[in-house]
Chains A and B, each alone.
Chain A
Amino acid sequence: MKQQDQFRGIPVSIRFFIAALLSLGLVLADTSLHLSKEIRGSVDTIFSPLYSMANSPAALSSAVRQQMRTRYQLVDDNRRLQETMMLLKGELLKYGQMKQENEKLKALLGSPIQSESRVEVAEIMSVATDPFEQRIVINKGRLAGVYEGQPLIGEDGIVGQITDVSPNMSRAILISDRKHSIPVRNVRNDIRGIAQGTGLVDMLVMDDLPRNVDIKVGDLLVTSGLGGKFPRGYPVARVVEFSPDNGTGFAEVKARPVESLNRMRYVLLMWPSEYFTPGGQNMGLESLDFLKKGVSLVR
């Protein structure tokens, strides 16, 4: 210890003191001044080669798997995809008709019509491996039109939202992060609530509901659209546990996200109606899944 203390003339305890002061100063500055937004953008740009490096094993393995497929598998895949597309096209026909009908009804009621939204596929480059953080990094950034607060969806439902944007990549927070909450609605009876992340990837909680609330195990929670960030009507989670009394006077509702948040490779970026650029892009094939879901949700 004596020997180590002599390094560079500054004792290690004083160096630790300086480091601790610096880091606590940084924490305070970051939480009160939000200075990290600008820093993080530029740092992410510098580190983007690192992210691609970290992503390369996964990319390589998927490329190899793609190359190793036999002709028979490809034919089989092709047949399956064509079948799915036929099915979805059928659903799409129904959807078009229903949309028209819905618009007419809404016009009769005098409520505003929701216009189309645009979606785009993004690949997940990196996930946070820290138990306190439920975050991902995706490979689309400002140049692709990504903006802060943008909703992210997966094949089955809501994934999270964008928190930081740099030119070629962006960082997103998952709905299961402890710092994230999402306004939801119970499909069965339109009860509204706020689903909060727990830090566990398969668990959301709603702890602001009265004890006599009508929620049952198996109820589907969808986005209510009230926060203004997420579009209305997308599946979020399914209730797995309901206990009317958790000792605080409120009901305890636990729900499991419908999207398996730790098994994603791709996510969809969504531009809700007000960000939709007319003449830009119409909905790509990858959005057909959502149209199908949209059909089941239009009542």
Chain B
Amino acid sequence: MYGNLTTFLMVYGTMLAALVLNMVAPPDVIRNFYPNILLLTVMFWTVRIPRMVSVGHAFCAGLMMDLLLGSTLGIRAFSFSLMIFMLTSAFSKLETYSMLQQSVSIAIISFVGQIATFWLEHLFGMAFIDYHMILSSVSDMVMWPIMWVSLGFLMRFRHVRNSNLKH
């Protein structure tokens, strides 16, 4: 059997990889459509291993994003926590949905998160609404099945199971 170590390595490894992917300068054409890969990774692990990854991890991931983007500390920490809270409370059966339903739910959550980010940026800095907000939710929606399949494959490949975690 695979122990907790494999799971830990996989979760933090994919989160680190997602963080790096988030920082890669994308080509101009897809710049506006660049999905938030770190967010999707945290969401995936929240859905698949809710015992291990939840609001606390989302908070840390959001704080990382704040630090790396150079924005006011705490803004993305808040919106990431909010999104994962929504995911675990309102969409707790997401795993059983069809892929289309899953993607639409992710888009809704991501859009609410964008609004929360905008709201805080507006209160404590300066921001204004533009269509990028919708675009990035749409790209999150498109990206979700890809993440679901690829991370799911990785998970099956390494036999990571929720039941492996003893708390």
Q: Which residue of A lies closest to B67 (CB)?
A: A43
- A13 lies within 8 A of chain B by Cβ: yes
Interface residues on B, range: 35 or more
The docked-state distance in angstroms from the alpha carbon of A178 to that of B124 is 13
- B54 lies within 8 A of chain A by Cβ: yes
Residue of B16, B31, B32, B73 with most chain A CB atoms under a 10 A cut-off: B73
| Cβ–Cβ < 8 Å partners of B51 in chain A | 7
The answer on a CB contact under 8 Å between A262 and B31 is yes
The answer on a CB contact under 8 Å between A16 and B74 is no
- B22 lies within 8 A of chain A by Cβ: yes
CB distance from A128 to the nearest CB of B (A): 5
Q: Which residue of A lies closest to B31 (CB)?
A: A262
CB distance from B86 to the nearest CB of A (A): 9
How many residue pairs link A and B with beta carbons under 8 A? The number is: 147
The count of residues in chain A whose C-beta lies closer than 8 Å to any C-beta of chain B is: 54
| Cβ–Cβ < 8 Å partners of B126 in chain A | 178-179
The answer on a CB contact under 8 Å between A178 and B78 is no
The answer on a CB contact under 8 Å between B72 and A7 is no
The answer on a CB contact under 8 Å between A54 and B23 is yes
The answer on a CB contact under 8 Å between A26 and B50 is no
Q: Which of A36, A126, A127, A164 contacts B73 (CB 8 A)?
A: A36
CB distance from B70 to the nearest CB of A (A): 5
The answer on a CB contact under 8 Å between B75 and A27 is yes
The answer on a CB contact under 8 Å between B25 and A131 is no
The answer on a CB contact under 8 Å between A7 and B92 is no
The answer on a CB contact under 8 Å between B55 and A1 is no
CB distance from A5 to the nearest CB of B (A): 9
Q: Which of B3-11, B114-122, B141-149, B151-159 contacts A (4 or more CB under 8 A)?
A: B114-122
List the 6 closest A-B pairs by CB distance, nearest first: A26-B74, A131-B132, A23-B78, A54-B23, A27-B74, A19-B81
- 18 inter-chain pairs at a CB distance below 8 angstroms, sorted by A residue, are A1-B89, A7-B167, A12-B88, A19-B59, A20-B81, A23-B59, A23-B81, A24-B74, A24-B78, A26-B77, A27-B124, A55-B24, A128-B69, A129-B31, A129-B34, A135-B69, A163-B70, A178-B126
